[in-house]
Structure 1
Amino acid sequence: MVVLRLALPTPMRRVFDYLPPADIDPQTLVPGIRIRVPFGNRQLIGMLLDVSDHSEFPIHKLKAALEVLDNTPPLPAHLLDLARWAASYYQHPIGDALAQALPVMLRKGNACEYAHEHLWRACDGAVPEDAGKQAKKQQAMLALLIKHPQGISTDAIRAEGYRPELLKPLEEKALAERFIHHPHHANSERTENLIHEAPLTLNTQQSAALEEINSSDGFAPILLEGVTGSGKTEIYLQAIELQLSRGKQALVLVPEIGLTPQTVTRFKQRFNVPVVALHSNMSDRQRLDAWLDAREGEARIIIGTRSAIFTPMRAPGIIVVDEEHDASFKQQDGYRYSARDLAVLRAQREQIPVVLGSATPSLETLHNAQQGRYQWVRVTERAGHAKAPSFELLDTRNTHLQSGLSTPLIKKIGQTLEKGTQALVFINRRGFSPTLSCHDCGWIADCNRCDANMTLHRSPPHLHCHHCDKQTPIPARCGNCGSDQLKPVGAGTERTEDTLQKLFPDTPVLRIDRDTTQRKDAMAKMMAQIHSGEPCILVGTQMLAKGHHFPKVTLVAILNADSGLFSADFRGMERTAQLILQVAGRAGRADHPGSVVMQTNQADHPTLQHLVQMGYYAFAQQELIQRQNAQLPPFTHYALVRAEANGSGRAEAFLRAIREQMETDILMPEGVRWLGPFPSPMEKRAGMHRAQLLIQGNNRRHLHQLLDTLTHYLEQTKEARQVRWSIDVDPVDTF
C-alpha cells in the first residue's frame, strides 16, 4: 500500500492522506512535488511531504490524487525543510506556509517552466509540400516553422495569424516536433570581467568591513552597522563581486517595493551579469520567470522584498538584508514570518555569509552582536568628504504654525533654496489633514468600522480610512449639528505640499507617499527630477527615510518629531529613534554640509536630547539596559494570541476562557507567563472587535512547548470556530 502525506493550503494544521493516481510509478513520488487532489467539492494543489505504507484511516475511505504536477520538486530539499521549520516555529498551517514559499502560478497548478519553454520547429529535411497537396493550411504552418529554425512558441504562432491546432497533424506526420527550450541569459556564467562600472574607492573603515565579510568561510552572520551615508551599499556591491567571481549567486532583501527599482538599477550599472527583481508589483508570469532564473542559476543577483527569502538559488554565495531593522521584514498578517530571521537560518543551512546592514540596527540584532552570536562591523564615518549633519531641536510650544510649519523653519527652507540646494520635509501622515472637525460642536469625522478618524484627502476630494480602506465623499454639513463650519484638523502630506507651494511658488514641490507613487513609473520620474540637482522641496512619509541617496538635499525638516515618544508599545522609542535618524541621514550626503531641524513640543525630553547629542549607539545601549531591567525582548521571548469577533467583548471573553481552561488543564512550562487578555490598541477595525493575549517566556523552547499545546487545543475546541484567531510569534507590534 502506498499512501501520500500531503500538505494542503487550508486553515487546518494537519497533513492529509491520499492514494496515488492509478497510473503513477511510486518510485517517482519524492517529497516536495506538487499534486492535484480532490478536496470536498473543489480541487487543491498540495505538496507531498512523505510516502508511507499505512494510514490511520481505513484504506477504503482515502481518495485518490488526481494528478502529479512535477517530475522534480520546485524547491530544493533544504528550502523545503526551511519552509517546514518556519511553519512550525511561527505556528502557521503547514499547507498554507509551503504554498506561500512558491510563486503564485505554481500555487495555482501551472507548470514549473518558463513562459515559452515549449517551442515548435520543423523536423530535419521537411518541406511544405510534404504536408500534402490538399493540406494548404498545414503547408503554410510548416513554412512558418521552417522560417524559425530556433523554434517558435504557440503564442507567437497565434500572433502570426495561424491556428496552433494545425501542429498536431504535422507532428503525427513527423514533419514538426515540440522541444524544450531553456532561456539562457548572456553573461549568466561569467566569473571574469564582471564589472561594467568601476567600483568606488573605499575609505579605511569600509575596507576593513569588506575584508571582514570576504574573509568569512562558510556560515557567518555579520551585522554591518554603518551611519547613514557611510557607503554600506558600496560594501555590499564589492562583497557580492567576490562571490560572483567564484561562480556564486547573491540574494539581496530590501524592505520596500519602492526601493527595489533603484537598487536593481544600481546593481545593473555595476555588474555585467543578469540581475532580477522579485516583488508583489510584478505580474504572476514575470515573477515565476524571475524565480526560475534564480533557481536555474541564470540570474546571478536576486533583489526582492520579504517573500523573496524562499527563492531558490542554484549556487548560493551570500545573502544581504538591507535596512535589517525595518518592521516590513516581518509579515503582519496571515503567515507572520520574519524574513530577516529566516535569512540568518537559511544562510546557516547553505553555509554562506549573511550581512545584516543598518545605520540603526534593531535591538535584537544589536544584542546578538554584543553576545558574540554575530560578527559586528562598524562604519562610523560617512563616505567621501561628506560630514554628519548638525541637529537642531525647534521648540514649537506656544508657537504659531502654518499648516504644521513654524516661521523659523519656513525661513530655513527659503535659505536652503537660495543656495541652490534642496530641502526635505518629513511628515508621517498621508492626506491633506488627519481628520475633519465641526468648528461649532466639535464633531469629528470618524470611521464607523474602526476606532480611528477618517483622513481628509483633497486630490481627489474624499474621506479615507487608511485602516479598513473605507472611502466616503466629504460632507457639506456636520453630521451632528448640521453646521457648515467643517474645518481640517492638523496637517498631512497633501496640506504641507499645498502650503509650501504657496510659500515658494517658483520652486517645484514633490510629494512622495503611497498616494503619489501608485502609478507606474511615478516614483522613477520624481527620483529623476530630484537627482537632476535643481532646487526643489521634497515632502513625504517614511518612504523617504529608507535608503535613498539625495546628493543635493542639505536641509531635512522633521515635523512632529515627538509623535512616538509616548507610545504604549515598548518598541515605540526604538522606532522613533530609528525613523528620526534614518530621515536625518538624507541630509548632507555629498559635498554640501547638511542640517536637520526637528520641530517638537518636547525639546527638553531627555531621550530626544540623548539621541541627537550622543547618537544611536548610546541611545540603544540605554534602551537595552531598560529592556533587561523590565524583562522585555531581546532578554525574553513573546508570542501574541490575537482574536477578533463581530461583537464587542466576544474576542476578549474567548481569550479569557482559553487562558482559564489552559491553566486548569496543563502544567505551565517553567518561566512561561500569561499577560491579559486585553483589548487591542485599535479595538475595532474593519467592523471586527479585537483582543490579544500575551505569552511571555524566559526560554524559547519552553514557550514553544506551550504554543504547541495551545494550538492543538484551539484546533479542537468548538469556541475557536466562532472567532478568528491567530498566533504571532516574536511580534513586532506588541501593544
Structure 2
Amino acid sequence: MSDALPCLVQVAVSTPAHSAVGDLLSYACAAPLAPGTLVRVPLGAREVLGVVWDAPAEPLPLPAGMAPRPVAGVLEGIAPLDAAWRRLVAFTARYYQRALGEVALAALPPQLRELTPEQLARRMRRPAVGAAAQARESATESVALSAEQAIAAAEIESNPGPFLLFGSTGSGKTEVYMHCVARALAASPAAQALVMVPEINLTPQLEARFRARFAPLYGEVAVVSLHSGMTNPQRLKSWLAAHQGVARIVLGTRMAVFASLPGLALVVADEEHDASYKQQEGARYSARDLAVWRAREQGAKVILGSATPSLESWHASSPEVGRYQRLAMPARIGAGELPRLRLVDMGQQPRGAVFSPPLLAAITERVERGEQCLVLLNRRGFAPVLHCHDCGWKSDCPHCSAHQVFHKIDRTLRCHHCGYAQRVPRACPACGNPDIAPVGRGTEQLEEQLAALLRNVITPGRRAARVARMDADTTRAKGALEEQLAQVHAGEVDVLVGTQMVAKGHDFRRITLVAAVQPDGALFSSDFRAPERLFALLMQAAGRAGRDAQYVAAQASPPEMWLQTWHPDHAVYAALRRHDYPAFAQQQLAERREAGMPPFAYQALVRADARTQEAAQAFLQAAADAARAAQLPGLEQVFIFPPVPLTVQRVANVERAQMLLESPGRGALQRFLAAWQPLLHAERARHRALVRWLVDVDPQAI
C-alpha cells in the first residue's frame, strides 16, 4: 500500500445483482473515515456512491498482488449515516437475501447517487430555511378526542407496544396518529415521527392535514414527504431535511421506512394490511414488518392501523400470542353508522345487466338528492379482451401469456404486464371478420355505460348528473390525482367510478352509497390470501360511505354498500354484512392453522426467469437437488415444493417459473436460505438460458 494512503476502509456499493461479489469492498484513503460516511469510489470503469461500513471483526485479506483502489471523494457536507440506519440496512439485506450494498444504495435518494462532492458542496451552500421555534405543547391539542380515541391514545402513551389500532372506517384513526405525533414531538426537541401510507394517492390529503396541524408549530420544513411520485430534487431535499433533523415529521410510502431519522420516536403504518407495503422489485422487503423491527431496535413506538388488519398482525395481537397490543375503536366519529350491506343476487336479475335495476334506482335516487356515489370495479380499461366470434381470435399480447386490454378512449390495445400497445385492428387479424367485440368490463366501460344510464338524471343544482373515473390511466399525469380528488370533494362529481385506488383511505364527505359491481372473481382464486384481500377491499370501500355523520343525518336514508354477486350466500359476504372482521379473521385463521399456512408457517419463493419455461424449471430443480445433496442447515424443517410456472408465465418474452419453500420455523428457513445462496450462484453459472433469479421471503402473492 502507498505511504500516501495508509488507511483501509470497507465500503458498501451497489454491485450487479447476483454477481457473487462480496457485500463490502476495500478502498484506500488518506485518513480514517467514520462508518456511515458517504463516498465516491471507483467500481470497474465507473465511479459510484458508496457508504463506509463498520469494519468486520476479521477483515478479509486482499488477493496477492492486488492493491486497493483509492476513495475518489468524500461527501463532506452530509453527516455520516448513524449506526441504527446501518443496522436496519444490514438486517434487511440479511433477512430478504439481498446484497448489503444493493439495499444500502437503494435506500438513498437517486440524485444523491449521482452528485459529486463538488456538486453536493454547491447545493449545501444554498441558504437553508430553519424550522420554527418550539411551540407550546398545548397548541397541538386543537381537536378534542372522542372517548375511544382518548383511551387508545392514553394506552399508546403509557405502554411500549407495538400497537395494532383496530378502528372501523371513519373511527378517527388519523386523529389518534396526529395526537401521538404531537406528544412525541413535544417530549423532545430532537424527536422525529415517520408516518407511512401504502400508496402515493393517499399522501396529498394526509400531507395537507399534517401540514395544517404542525407547520404553524414547527415551521413549513418540519413536515416533508418521501415517495416515488416526487422529482429527484424534491426527494433529495426531503431526505436531507430528515437526515439533518430539520424535518420533524416524514410522510411517505414504503420507501420512507429507510429514511435517515436520527431522532426517531414514533412510527405509524396506516392501512397496515395493504399489500402495497411489500416491494415487488429488487429487494422484496415488507415496509410494515421493517417498521416494527426498526421501531423496536431504535426504542421508538410503532402503531399499525387498519379497519381490516392483516391476519398476521391480527394473530400477533391475539391474547395467546401477545406480541402486539390490540386497541379497538369500533364506533364512528360523530355517532355515524356503518353502511348497510345490500346483496343483489345477479341470478335473479335481467340477463346481461351490468347494473341491476335496484342498484341503478338507488344510485339515481341518491344523485337526485345531491348525494355522491362510488362504483368499484378493480379492472381498468374498457374491456379485458377483444374477441372474434367467427374464428375465436383474442387480443393476446405477442410478448406475454396474457391478453391485451382494450382501451376505447384512445382506441388502443395495451398489455398491462409489459406495456406493449398497438392500435385496435379494423377487422380480425386472423379471418378478416370486421365484427370483433369487447368481452368483459373495465372501469372505462362502466363510466361510459353509467353516464348513458344517468343522462336524464338532474341534481338539485339543476344540472345533469356527472360521472367521473379514477384509475391508473386517468391519474398518470402529474397533478391529475390532486385535481380529480379536489373535484370530488367540491361536489363537482356525482358518481365516481374507480379501481381499488379509490376504496381506501380517502375521506369523501358526501358519498352515501358504494357499489361493488363484479367482486366474485377473488372468491375462487388459487391464492390463499384472496379471501382476506377481497374482504379488506370491500370493507374499506364500504367505509367511504357515510363518513360525515352530520351530512348523513340530514339526508333521507342511511349510507349503503351494494354488492352485486352470483354467490350471495358466501361466507365472506355473510361476515361483511355484519361488519364482523373478528369473526372473519377467526374463521380464516382456523383454516390456515389446519392447512399449515402463514402465520402458522413461514414461506419463501424462489423465482427464475429464462428464455424457455423448461430452462427456468430446470434451474429451480437443480438448485433444490443441490440443497438436498449438501444437506444444508435447516433443511430438515424446510419443505421444497416442485417448480411450477407463474400464473402469467411469460412476460416481455421471458418465461417465469417459481418454487415454494415452507417451514414451521422462521429461523430454520432463514438458516437454509443463507446457506443456499452460494449454491444458487453456482447453479446460475451452469444454466446459460437463465436470465435472472430472485428469492422472495414472506411472499404476498403465490
- The question of a shared fold, defined as TM-score above 0.5 by the shorter chain, is answered with yes
TM-score by length of 1: 0.87
Alpha-carbon shift at residue 711 of structure 1 (Å): 0.9
* Residue 108 (str. 1) matches residue 88 (str. 2): no
Q: Is the 8 A contact 1:31 1:73 kept in 2?
A: no
Which whole-Å CA distance do the structure 1 matches of 2:240 and 2:290 have between them?
21
Which whole-Å CA distance do the structure 2 matches of 1:98 and 1:629 have between them?
39
* Residue 470 (str. 1) matches residue 413 (str. 2): no
Which whole-Å CA distance do the structure 2 matches of 1:482 and 1:351 have between them?
68
Q: Is the 8 A contact 1:36 1:109 kept in 2?
A: no
Q: Over aligned residues, Cα RMSD in angstroms? A: 2.1
Matches within 5 A, 1:154-169: none
Alpha-carbon shift at residue 237 of structure 1 (Å): 1.1
Which whole-Å CA distance do the structure 2 matches of 1:299 and 1:508 have between them?
41
Q: Is the 8 A contact 2:42 2:72 kept in 1?
A: no
Q: 1:90 aligns with which of 87, 91, 96?
A: 96
Structure 2 residue matching 1:276: 3-state secondary structure: strand
* Residue 666 (str. 1) matches residue 631 (str. 2): yes
- Equivalent residue, structure 1, for 2:174: 233
- Equivalent residue, structure 1, for 2:50: 46
Letter paired with 1:567: S
- Structure 2 CA distance for partners of 1:614 and 1:314, relative to 1, 3 Å: closer
Q: 2:333 aligns with which of 365, 383, 402?
A: 383
Alpha-carbon shift at residue 59 of structure 1 (Å): 5.4
Letter paired with 2:640: W
- Equivalent residue, structure 2, for 1:264: 207
Alpha-carbon shift at residue 647 of structure 1 (Å): 1.4
* Residue 554 (str. 1) matches residue 521 (str. 2): no
Matches within 5 A, 1:137-286: 181-187=127-133, 189-192=134-137, 194-195=139-140, 199-216=142-159, 219-246=160-187, 247=189, 248-271=191-214, 272=216, 273=218, 274-286=222-234
Alpha-carbon shift at residue 514 of structure 1 (Å): 0.8
Structure 2 residue matching 1:405: 3-state secondary structure: coil
Which whole-Å CA distance do the structure 2 matches of 1:43 and 1:212 have between them?
51
Matches within 5 A, 1:49-128: 49-51=53-55, 55-58=60-63, 60-71=65-76, 74-111=80-117, 117-119=123-125
Q: Is the 8 A contact 2:662 2:669 kept in 1?
A: yes
- Equivalent residue, structure 2, for 1:701: 667
The range that moved more, 618-627 or 287-296, is 287-296
- Equivalent residue, structure 2, for 1:178: none
- Equivalent residue, structure 2, for 1:18: 26
For each residue in 1:448-473, what CA deviation from the matched residue of structure 2 results, as whole angstroms up to 9, or x when unmatched? 21121111112222011111111111
Which whole-Å CA distance do the structure 2 matches of 1:307 and 1:478 have between them?
45
Q: Is the 8 A contact 1:437 1:443 kept in 2?
A: yes
Which whole-Å CA distance do the structure 2 matches of 1:44 and 1:658 have between them?
33
- Equivalent residue, structure 1, for 2:374: 424
Q: 1:601 aligns with which of 535, 547, 566?
A: 566
Identity of paired residues, percent?
41
Which whole-Å CA distance do the structure 2 matches of 1:18 and 1:353 have between them?
37
TM-score by length of 2: 0.91
Structure 2 residue matching 1:565: 3-state secondary structure: helix
Matches within 5 A, 1:364-443: 364-370=312-318, 371-397=321-347, 399-400=349-350, 404-443=354-393
Q: Is the 8 A contact 1:17 1:55 kept in 2?
A: no
For each residue in 1:331-377, what CA deviation from the matched residue of structure 2 results, as whole angstroms up to 9, or x when unmatched? 01211011101101111122111000000000000111011001110
- Equivalent residue, structure 2, for 1:36: 40
- Structure 2 CA distance for partners of 1:388 and 1:338, relative to 1, 3 Å: same
Which whole-Å CA distance do the structure 2 matches of 1:685 and 1:223 have between them?
38
Q: 1:615 aligns with which of 570, 580, 594?
A: 580
Q: 2:676 aligns with which of 692, 705, 710?
A: 710
Letter paired with 1:44: V
Q: Is the 8 A contact 1:680 1:692 kept in 2?
A: yes
Q: Is the 8 A contact 2:397 2:404 kept in 1?
A: yes
Which whole-Å CA distance do the structure 2 matches of 1:54 and 1:345 have between them?
28
Q: 2:306 aligns with which of 353, 358, 365?
A: 358
* Residue 4 (str. 1) matches residue 12 (str. 2): no
- Equivalent residue, structure 2, for 1:646: 611
Letter paired with 2:61: E
Q: Is the 8 A contact 1:644 1:651 kept in 2?
A: yes
Matches within 5 A, 1:318-337: 318-337=266-285
For each residue in 1:684-723, what CA deviation from the matched residue of structure 2 results, as whole angstroms up to 9, or x when unmatched? 1121111111111111111111101111211233225642
In the alignment, structure 1 segments of 5+ residues that lack a partner are 120-152, 154-180
Letter paired with 1:76: D
The range that moved more, 54-63 or 599-608, is 54-63
Alpha-carbon shift at residue 490 of structure 1 (Å): 1.4
Alpha-carbon shift at residue 407 of structure 1 (Å): 2.0
Q: Is the 8 A contact 1:35 1:65 kept in 2?
A: no
For each residue in 1:246-298, what CA deviation from the matched residue of structure 2 results, as whole angstroms up to 9, or x when unmatched? 23221100111111111000111222232111111111111111111112221
Q: Is the 8 A contact 2:291 2:302 kept in 1?
A: yes
Q: Is the 8 A contact 1:5 1:50 kept in 2?
A: yes
The range that moved more, 561-570 or 606-615, is 606-615
Letter paired with 1:40: G
Letter paired with 1:452: A
Letter paired with 1:70: L
Q: Is the 8 A contact 2:613 2:657 kept in 1?
A: no
Letter paired with 1:432: F
Q: Is the 8 A contact 1:392 1:598 kept in 2?
A: yes
Larger radius of gyration: 1
* Residue 690 (str. 1) matches residue 668 (str. 2): no
Alpha-carbon shift at residue 241 of structure 1 (Å): 1.3
In the alignment, structure 2 segments of 5+ residues that lack a partner are 1-5, 456-463, 553-557
Matches within 5 A, 1:556-635: 556-591=514-549, 592=552, 593-613=558-578, 615-635=580-600
The range that moved more, 648-657 or 47-56, is 47-56
Alpha-carbon shift at residue 55 of structure 1 (Å): 4.2
Q: Is the 8 A contact 1:252 1:301 kept in 2?
A: yes
Alpha-carbon shift at residue 186 of structure 1 (Å): 2.8
- Structure 2 CA distance for partners of 1:83 and 1:528, relative to 1, 3 Å: same
- Equivalent residue, structure 2, for 1:136: none
Which whole-Å CA distance do the structure 2 matches of 1:263 and 1:610 have between them?
30
Give the paired residue count.
Answer: 665
The range that moved more, 679-688 or 538-547, is 679-688
Letter paired with 2:581: Y
Letter paired with 2:211: K
- Structure 2 CA distance for partners of 1:493 and 1:693, relative to 1, 3 Å: same
Which whole-Å CA distance do the structure 2 matches of 1:716 and 1:653 have between them?
14
Letter paired with 2:94: S
Q: Is the 8 A contact 1:99 1:107 kept in 2?
A: yes
Q: 2:397 aligns with which of 420, 443, 447?
A: 447
The range that moved more, 638-647 or 658-667, is 658-667
- Structure 2 CA distance for partners of 1:507 and 1:113, relative to 1, 3 Å: farther
